[in-house]
Structure 1
Amino acid sequence: MTGQTRRFVKKLDLPAYEIEPANPFFEIKEPFVLAVPTYDQEIMDVVYDFLDHEQNASLLKGIIGSGNRNFAELFVYAAKQLAKDYQAPLLHAIEFSGTVEDVDTIKKVVNELES
């Protein structure tokens, strides 16, 4: 909605796919990390549709959550819930569109997952 997560993913300069709300039924063919903003469960239905499509959930290696720390316990709520529901690690939590340190951390984590 605000584009913060999209801006962060672009900073990573890694191959990326944006889940399309109009058609979340896209099949991923290789292991991936999911980056999600903080939204309530109802709005996350499209992410669940994507993960439940074909073998997508089995290729999920971890989740990055983004949000605003002003949300207190709801900060990266969607990422925490998805991590629990799909038993995937919450790899990192970023605020807004992340910092240079967040980018470095995620790149390091992705490199470790690839090896």
Structure 2
Amino acid sequence: MTVLYASTEGNTKSFVEKLQRVAAQYGDKVDARMIGEETDYANETAPFIAIVPTYLTGGTGTGPEVTEIFTNALGEYIAFGNNRRYLRGIVGSGNRNFNVQFNLTGKRYAEQFDVPMLFAYELRGSKFDAEKVYNLMKPLFGE
């Protein structure tokens, strides 16, 4: 099972590590790759999910004046070549203190790439959150 993710503060990386530990408990492996500004584009050839945090600037709501920051490289990577055809879903995160902006980036990615918004968790997520994501993603990989 492949996961592509963006992480700037370490929260998403921490969640991905939890997800890998949960998968290992069931004898599965999660191949996780962080995508950032320095990542070279590549053509994906197998299904993957994307895990994206929410970092926004501008405005106070959810309108077009609110723009994504720090996660654009992941979106551009997914949009590259035929990569979007292998994207099976989005897992998003954020801080619930931001109310309507919680998980806004994840929702936008799901809409932009026409895939399901699988799950949203807060900040670093919990082991329980990682177990839920594992159970949601496993069928998407034919396992």
| TM-score relative to the length of structure 1 | 0.92
Give 2:114's match in structure 1, choosing from 87, 100, 103: 87
8 Å CA contact 2:54–2:68 kept in 1: the answer is: no
Q: Distance in 1 between matches of 2:38 and 2:116?
A: 27
> How far 1:24 sits from its partner (Å)?
5.0
In proportion to residue count, which structure has more strand?
2
Q: Which moved more, 1:36-45 or 1:47-56?
A: 36-45
Give 1:23's match in structure 2, choosing from 27, 39, 43: 39
The equivalent residue for 1:32 is: 48
Q: Which moved more, 1:21-30 or 1:82-91?
A: 21-30
Stretches of structure 2 that go unaligned for 5 or more consecutive residues are: 1-7, 21-29, 57-66
8 Å CA contact 1:24–1:46 kept in 2: the answer is: no
Task: Please report the RMSD computed on the Cα atoms of aligned residues, expressed in angstroms.
Answer: 1.3
Q: Which moved more, 1:75-84 or 1:24-33?
A: 24-33
Percent identity of equivalent pairs: 32
8 Å CA contact 1:39–1:78 kept in 2: the answer is: yes
> How far 1:28 sits from its partner (Å)?
1.9
Q: Secondary structure at the match of 1:80?
A: helix
> How far 1:31 sits from its partner (Å)?
0.4
Give 1:3's match in structure 2, choosing from 1, 10, 31: 10
Q: Distance in 2 between matches of 1:42 and 1:69?
A: 17
Stretches of structure 1 that go unaligned for 5 or more consecutive residues are: none
Q: Secondary structure at the match of 1:17?
A: strand
8 Å CA contact 2:89–2:117 kept in 1: the answer is: yes
Residue pairs, 1:1-115, within 5 angstroms: 1-13=8-20, 14-40=30-56, 41-43=67-69, 44-115=71-142
Whichever of the two has the greater Rg, that structure is 2
Distance 1:4 1:55, change over 3 A: same
Q: Secondary structure at the match of 2:41?
A: coil
Q: Distance in 1 between matches of 2:75 and 2:141?
A: 24
